[in-house]
Amino acid sequence: MLITISSIVTNTYVQLILRIVLASLLGTLIGLEREHARRPAGLRTHVLVCVGSCLVMLTSEFIYSNYQHLSPNMDIARLGAQVISGVGFLGAGTIIRNGNTVKGLTTAATVWAVACIGLATGIGYYAGALISTFVILLVLAYLKSFASSAYDHLISCQLNIKLLHSPELINTIEDKFSSQAITINNIRFRTDKDNVTEVTYHLSMNENADILPIIKDLYNINEIIEIEKKYSDE
């Protein structure tokens, strides 16, 4: 009898505690970074998502172990699949849109990733959970500064174009930007009662790029009325 109890404690309850504690720790690591960055989903949200996802997989494993004889075709991954799709409502709550600017996508992605880490921990895939947590922390801590340093070699430009309303012409303009590796960061449209459309492009380009040839080409198009160029420091 003692051997049986010892076996239960070692194989079931210790594993149960280990997985839940590990899920809470991994969720804490990522949650602390988001909390430090003052994001809408912080420490508690990430810990709860990770532990909850872990519990879902533990429950799936428990059901499979104890009730498989009632349904031989039971799918142990079904509950976990619902977590992956269902956690999206939390991520949506962290996304804020202000005009053409969207914030919170990174936090939404971390909430989803933490749910996946919880699932991996719950099923006992410790290596995957630990490595994923390490990689996510590296991305959150260093990738933003790396991307910023890469963009230091870019210059910003605003181009205001007045034209007779024509979707085909707008596509032509954007194709010209793409052909010169000019990135469109933001677009704003405004059409008046005379069917004249003012399009404002916020562009990024390499510091050696020259937008003047594109402007000259655009001036030769009859439907374009006016072009105004401004650099970020003007």
Structure confidence at residue 1 (pLDDT): 43
Tokens for 137, please give them: 């922390």
Q: What is the pLDDT along the chain (234 residues), one digit of tens a residue?
A: 444 555 554 567 888 899 999 999 999 999 998 888 777 778 898 999 999 999 999 999 888 888 877 777 778 788 888 888 888 877 777 777 655 556 788 888 999 999 999 999 999 999 999 999 999 999 888 877 665 565 556 777 888 888 887 778 888 888 888 877 788 888 888 888 777 888 888 888 776 677 888 888 888 888 888 888 876 544
Decide: 46 and 108 in contact? Cβ < 8 Å: no
CA–CA separation, 130 vs 148, rounded Å? 27
CA–CA separation, 101 vs 118, rounded Å? 31
Structure confidence at residue 233 (pLDDT): 45
Structure confidence at residue 149 (pLDDT): 60
How far is the CA of 31 from the CAs of 23, 126, 129, in angstroms?
Answer: 12, 19, 15
What does the DSSP 8-state code read for residue 75? -
CA–CA separation, 61 vs 56, rounded Å? 9
What does the DSSP 8-state code read for residue 19? H
Structure confidence at residue 26 (pLDDT): 94
Amino acid at 63: I
Structural domains in the chain, CATH included, are: 2-150 (no CATH), 154-231 (3.30.70.260)
Structure confidence at residue 48 (pLDDT): 93
